[in-house]
């Protein structure tokens, strides 16, 4: 029996993915109401494929709020997502409390595997602090890097590229039950010391951020020079040193919280160690700058002439296929335009409270009523299907700021819109940055 | 970053303006006049800020609840040397000393974008200052002097760092819109250094004073850069003026002074967030209005 402790996004996804590999799963969370909802297949998160995978492997999943049930597990994954605050700093308190609470319920010889997003040094410090309890229970402590991506988490959990396992003694064999779990997924396993694994997690994210930032910087220059980034990106993908899966799609800075958390953690560690983290500071500044690309574009294209324009916004989630709004560019835009009337629509996100002058519409078309400009801030697939002629008919203006290129610029032009896209020259000589 | 103390526009109290007869001071007075706000403009003839007596005089002028706008300085055309620096610092020292004990409620200091290094593009509020001239060093030092004095008195300080300002009534003759407009009209020519490749923002005076009035109204504090809507080359600026002035002036070129070509761009995002309802005047429109007022 494989146990999961902490049923936030990480725990839910890995529980279901483990069941999908034919292993029996006990998923524990102290929140009994949450366990009841999960056992009914009602998830507090949105992930493509989650419901179908759950339904197909429901018989191997047991949800419980009783920690004592964990004594049946040979491997227990600690899978509580570490929340971050407004400054993207981790709050490790709930994780530490959870570990302290369930530890006494493990059977002898069990392996504890931390999946949660912990900073370098955390696992060894935890091992030292709780050494008497670990020794009494005869449990081993490991850290495993998670690399899930919101909106694509089930796919990545089912088909990982590799497992990175942090160990106290990398030369020692892993416990048999843990090896069995790892073997259920056909991918390489890389054991290493705790600190290496913890830093590997950050290293992966920092490489991604460097690609994202480079892409965004080049995309901005494309807009200014009259180049077209969508023509350049395929050439880069064919370069073996860059690769077909490189992050070459321009975006509105970093969002979602995970990458931002690792940047903050890295800067803190570099400060402590006296390492030069100037490039990380530059990435963070660039991210903040890019987040406001839509605001700058709207000012140039609309507000300079029409300071009291009405605005339609499609999308609140920070990306498609998730309901997360952590560091969402849409929310940043709404905050920056408190004086304007705004109508917003998102197929999955309902804001718990609405600030003045913001209305949440029931459909994409409804959001467009009387708007002078439309901003498409989440590339939800359904936005590709909305009838642009009807959008044009309902709007009072003709500007579409579409950073991700959800709609074809040629079609927009045919329908009488001026559209602005990241990495593309702005129409009519207007620059979109 | 600029922070507004009050959530919405409220009527300012009495406003004391140091540098009331200068380019910014005069336009500020004009902008405040229709609002019927009591103003006390003080020029260098009424108050010599270099003199130690200025401390007591200014302290007596500043009543409880007053706002002070400090836009007085010896500009580079009046001297770029150490003597000018020390005179400017003396002025700042005396103003800071007067404010330290005052019951003034708000201070706005008009600094300059010169405090930033020459080409850290794009310039934004968190760009580290790195003055490359005594004039820039003076502004940065004054900012620090005022911040130290006002923190003791718990008075909010707003520092505005504008780029080069243009508009009717500019008494300076620095390289840019005003000099180009004057020479185009009077001499029928515009003189560029090199081919005028450098890009700069140019801020219309009416936009800048609108920002000051807004900040006075809202008790704003912090640091803000204010710049024109976009960076253009001096060659493009000259070209625009050639379209506006009759007869069409000649554009001439002199050898470039100094080293390489440098550009300066501002990231206006913070401005757009702080003043979403104050759109910046497009350069051509600002030049037209300047020319019209010059002609009239």
Tell me whether residue B274 is in a domain.
no
Mean pLDDT of all residues in B144-158? 93
B284 touches chain A (CB under 8 A): no
Mean pLDDT of all residues in A316-324? 94
Chain B CB contacts of A289 below 8 Å? 267, 269
Examine the domain organization and report whether B111 and B172 are in the same domain. no
Q: What is the pTM of this model?
A: 0.87
- Which residue in the block uniquely carries the two structure tokens 């409220």? B10
Q: Are strands A373-376 and B2-3 parallel, antiparallel or unpaired?
A: unpaired
Chain B CB contacts of A309 below 8 Å? none
Mean pLDDT of all residues in A324-347? 95
Nearest to A45 by CA among A256, A255, A251: A256
A310/A302 Cα distance (integer angstroms): 10
Examine the domain organization and report whether B251 and B196 are in the same domain. yes
* Number of domains, chain B: 2
Provide the shortest C-alpha distance from residue B153 to chain A (in Å): 31
Mean pLDDT of all residues in B193-214? 95
Examine the domain organization and report whether B217 and B73 are in the same domain. yes
The average confidence (pLDDT) of chain A is 94
pLDDT confidence bin for A430, thresholds 50/70/90? very low
Comparing CB atoms, the residue among B267, B276, B282 nearest residue A337 is B276
Taking every pair of Cα atoms in chain B, the longest distance, rounded to a whole number of angstroms, is 57
Q: What pLDDT score does A313 carry?
A: 98
pLDDT in tens, A364-398: 999 999 999 999 999 999 999 999 999 999 999 99
Examine the domain organization and report whether B56 and B88 are in the same domain. yes
Q: Is the pLDDT of residue B110 over 50?
A: yes
The three-class DSSP label of residue A308 is: coil
Domain map of chain A by residue range?
2-192, 202-289, 292-429
Examine the domain organization and report whether B51 and B183 are in the same domain. no
Q: What pLDDT score does B78 carry?
A: 81
- Which residue in the block uniquely carries the two structure tokens 């319920």? A105
Examine the domain organization and report whether B16 and B148 are in the same domain. yes
The average confidence (pLDDT) of chain B is 92
| Cβ–Cβ pairs < 8 A, chains A and B | 35
pLDDT confidence bin for A433, thresholds 50/70/90? very low
- Counting residues of chain A whose pLDDT is more than 90, the rounded percentage is 90
Q: Which residue of A has its CA nearest to B124?
A: A289
B211 touches chain A (CB under 8 A): no
CATH code at position B10: 3.40.50.720
Mean pLDDT of all residues in A134-158? 92
Phi, psi torsion values for B168, nearest 5 degrees: -60, 140
B252/A88 Cα distance (integer angstroms): 54
Are B269 and A340 in contact (CB < 8 Å)? no
B269 touches chain A (CB under 8 A): yes
Are A296 and B269 in contact (CB < 8 Å)? yes
Comparing CB atoms, the residue among A289, A295, A340 nearest residue B272 is A295
DSSP state of A303: I
- Counting residues of chain B whose pLDDT is more than 90, the rounded percentage is 74
Are B268 and A339 in contact (CB < 8 Å)? no
Chain A CB contacts of B277 below 8 Å? 307-308, 339
pLDDT confidence bin for B235, thresholds 50/70/90? very high
A275/A277 Cα distance (integer angstroms): 6
Quick one: A292-429 is in which CATH superfamily?
A: NAD(P)-binding Rossmann-like Domain (3.40.50.720)
Comparing CB atoms, the residue among A285, A307, A431 nearest residue B279 is A307
B8 touches chain A (CB under 8 A): no
B255 touches chain A (CB under 8 A): no
Q: Is the pLDDT of residue A330 over 50?
A: yes
Q: What do you get for the CA distance between the two ends of chain B, in Å?
A: 39
Tell me whether residue B269 is in a domain.
no
Mean pLDDT of all residues in A55-73? 96
B245/A191 Cα distance (integer angstroms): 75
Indicate if the alpha-carbon torsion angle A390, A396, A398, A401 is positive or negative: negative
Cβ contact B67:B212 at 8 Å: no
Q: What pLDDT score does A432 carry?
A: 37
Burial A15-26 (b: 16+ CB within 10 A, else e): bbbbbbbebebb
Cβ contact B189:B250 at 8 Å: yes
Nearest to B12 by CA among B249, B241, B220: B220
Tell me whether residue B259 is in a domain.
yes
- Counting residues of chain B whose pLDDT is more than 70, the rounded percentage is 97
Mean pLDDT of all residues in A412-419? 95
Q: Is the pLDDT of residue A282 over 70?
A: yes
Q: What number of other Cβ atoms are within 10 A of residue B168's Cβ?
A: 19
CATH code of domain A2-192: 3.40.50.720
CATH code at position B184: 3.90.25.10
Phi, psi torsion values for A192, nearest 5 degrees: -160, 175
Tell me whether residue B276 is in a domain.
no
The residue segments making up the domain with residue B184 are: 167-200+230-264+281-295
> Same CATH fold, A292-429 and A202-289?
no
B285 touches chain A (CB under 8 A): no
Q: What pLDDT score does B13 carry?
A: 75
pLDDT in tens, A108-119: 889 999 999 999
* Residues whose CB is less than 8 angstroms from the CB of residue A267 and which lie 6 or more positions away in sequence, other chains included: A277, A280, A281, A284
pLDDT confidence bin for B117, thresholds 50/70/90? confident
Are B276 and A303 in contact (CB < 8 Å)? yes
Q: What pLDDT score does B6 carry?
A: 67
B123 touches chain A (CB under 8 A): no
pLDDT confidence bin for B173, thresholds 50/70/90? confident
pLDDT in tens, B45-89: 899 999 999 999 999 989 888 999 999 999 888 888 999 999 999
Q: Which residue of A has its CA nearest to B279?
A: A304
Residue A169, phi-psi category: left (phi > 0), alpha (psi -120 to 50), beta (remainder): beta
Tell me whether residue B271 is in a domain.
no
Indicate if the alpha-carbon torsion angle A374, A260, A336, B228 is positive or negative: negative
Q: What pLDDT score does B65 carry?
A: 84
Q: Are strands A311-314 and A373-376 parallel, antiparallel or unpaired?
A: parallel
- C-alpha R_g of chain B: 19
Chain A CB contacts of B280 below 8 Å? 304
Examine the domain organization and report whether B236 and B116 are in the same domain. no
DSSP state of B266: B
Q: What pLDDT score does A241 carry?
A: 95
* Residues whose CB is less than 8 angstroms from the CB of residue A278 and which lie 6 or more positions away in sequence, other chains included: none
pLDDT confidence bin for B102, thresholds 50/70/90? confident
Q: ipTM of this model? A: 0.82
Mean pLDDT of all residues in A42-59? 96
Tell me whether residue B272 is in a domain.
no
Q: Is the pLDDT of residue B258 over 80?
A: no
Examine the domain organization and report whether B193 and B206 are in the same domain. no
Q: What pLDDT score does B221 carry?
A: 94
B208/A39 Cα distance (integer angstroms): 62
CATH of A202-289, one of 1.20.810.10, 3.40.190.10, 1.10.1040.10, 3.40.250.10: 1.10.1040.10
Examine the domain organization and report whether B107 and B161 are in the same domain. yes
Q: Is the pLDDT of residue A431 over 80?
A: no
The three-class DSSP label of residue A191 is: strand
Q: Which residues pair with B41 in a beta bridge?
A: B17
Q: Is the pLDDT of residue B12 over 80?
A: no
Examine the domain organization and report whether B39 and B130 are in the same domain. yes
Chain A CB contacts of B268 below 8 Å? 296, 299
Nearest to A314 by CA among A247, A391, A422: A391
Burial of B8 (0-12, 13-18, 19+ CB in 10 A): exposed
Examine the domain organization and report whether B141 and B256 are in the same domain. no
Examine the domain organization and report whether B60 and B7 are in the same domain. yes
Q: Which residues pair with A359 in a beta bridge?
A: A343
Provide the shortest C-alpha distance from residue A180 to chain B (in Å): 52
B99/A219 Cα distance (integer angstroms): 48
Q: What pLDDT score does B10 carry?
A: 60
Provide the shortest C-alpha distance from residue B267 to chain A (in Å): 8
Residue B272 CB-half CA count within 13 A: 26
Secondary structure element (H or E) that encloses residue B107, with its range:
strand B106-110
């Amino acid at each position: 029996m494989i146990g999961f402790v902490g049923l936030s996004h990480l725990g839910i996804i890995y529980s279901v993915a483990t069941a999908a590999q034919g292993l029996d799963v006990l998923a524990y969370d102290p929140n009994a109401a949450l366990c009841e909802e999960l056992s009914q297949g009602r998830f507090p998160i949105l992930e493509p494929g989650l419901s179908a995978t759950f339904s197909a492997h429901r018989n191997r999943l047991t949800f419980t709020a009783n920690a004592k049930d964990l004594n049946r597990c040979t491997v227990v994954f600690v899978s509580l997502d570490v929340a971050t605050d407004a400054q993207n700093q981790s709050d490790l308190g709930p994780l530490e409390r959870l570990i302290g609470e369930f530890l006494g319920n493990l059977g002898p010889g069990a392996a504890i595997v931390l999946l949660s997003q912990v900073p370098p040094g955390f696992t060894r410090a935890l091992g030292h602090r709780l050494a008497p309890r670990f020794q009494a229970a005869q449990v081993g402590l490991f850290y495993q890097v998670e690399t899930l991506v919101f909106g694509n988490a089930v796919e990545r959990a089912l088909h990982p590229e590799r497992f990175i396992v942090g160990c106290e003694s990398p030369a020692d064999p892993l416990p048999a039950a843990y090896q069995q779990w790892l073997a259920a997924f056909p991918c390489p396993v890389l054991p290493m010391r705790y600190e290496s694994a913890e830093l590997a997690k950050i290293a992966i994210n920092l490489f991604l951020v460097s690609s994202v930032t480079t892409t965004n910087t080049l995309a901005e220059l494309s807009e200014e020079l009259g180049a077209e980034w969508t023509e350049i990106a395929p050439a880069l993908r064919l370069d073996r040193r860059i690769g077909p899966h490189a992050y070459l799609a321009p975006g509105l800075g970093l969002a979602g919280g995970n990458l931002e958390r690792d940047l903050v953690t890295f800067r803190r560690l570099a400060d402590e160690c006296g390492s030069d983290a100037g490039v990380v500071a530059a990435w963070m500044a660039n991210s903040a700058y890019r987040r406001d690309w839509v605001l700058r574009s709207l000012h140039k294209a609309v507000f300079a002439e029409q300071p009291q324009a009405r605005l339609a916004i499609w999308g609140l989630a920070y990306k498609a296929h998730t309901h997360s709004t952590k560091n969402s560019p849409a929310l940043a835009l709404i905050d920056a335009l408190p004086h304007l009337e705004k109508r917003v629509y998102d197929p999955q996100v309902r804001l718990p409270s609405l600030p003045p002058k913001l209305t949440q519409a029931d459909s994409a078309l409804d959001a467009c009523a009387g708007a002078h400009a439309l901003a498409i801030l989440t590339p939800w697939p359904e936005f590709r299907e909305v009838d642009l002629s009807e959008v044009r008919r309902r709007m009072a203006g003709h500007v579409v700021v579409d950073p991700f290129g959800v709609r074809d610029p040629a079609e927009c032009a045919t329908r009488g819109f001026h559209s602005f896209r990241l990495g593309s020259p702005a129409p009519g000589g207007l620059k979109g940055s | 970053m600029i922070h507004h103390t009050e959530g919405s526009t409220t009527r300012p109290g009495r406003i004391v303006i140091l540098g009331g007869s200068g380019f910014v001071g005069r336009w500020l007075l004009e902008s405040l006049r229709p609002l019927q706000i009591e103003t006390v403009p003080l020029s260098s003839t009424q108050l010599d800020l270099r003199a130690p007596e200025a401390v007591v005089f200014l302290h007596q002028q500043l009543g409880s609840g007053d706002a002070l706008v400090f836009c007085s300085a010896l500009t580079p055309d009046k001297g770029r040397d150490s003597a000018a620096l020390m005179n400017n610092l003396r002025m700042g020292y005396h103003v800071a000393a007067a404010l330290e004990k005052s019951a003034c409620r708000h201070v706005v200091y008009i600094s300059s974008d010169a405090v930033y290094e020459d080409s850290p593009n794009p310039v934004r509020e968190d760009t580290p200052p790195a003055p490359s001239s005594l004039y820039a060093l003076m502004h940065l030092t004054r900012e620090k002097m005022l911040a130290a004095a006002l923190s003791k008195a718990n008075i909010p300080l707003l520092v505005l760092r504008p780029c080069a300002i243009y508009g009717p009534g500019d008494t300076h003759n620095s390289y840019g819109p005003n000099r180009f407009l004057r020479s185009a009209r009077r001499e029928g020519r515009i003189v560029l250094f090199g081919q005028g490749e450098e890009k700069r923002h140019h801020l219309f005076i009416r936009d800048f004073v609108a920002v000051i009035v807004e900040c006075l109204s809202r008790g704003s504090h912090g640091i803000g850069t204010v710049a024109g809507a976009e960076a253009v080359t001096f060659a493009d600026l000259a070209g625009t003026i050639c379209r506006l002035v009759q007869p069409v002036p000649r554009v001439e070129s002199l050898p470039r002074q100094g080293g390489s070509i440098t550009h300066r761009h501002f990231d206006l995002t913070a401005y757009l967030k702080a003043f979403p309802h104050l759109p910046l005047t497009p350069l051509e429109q600002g030049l037209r209005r300047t020319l019209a007022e010059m002609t009239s």
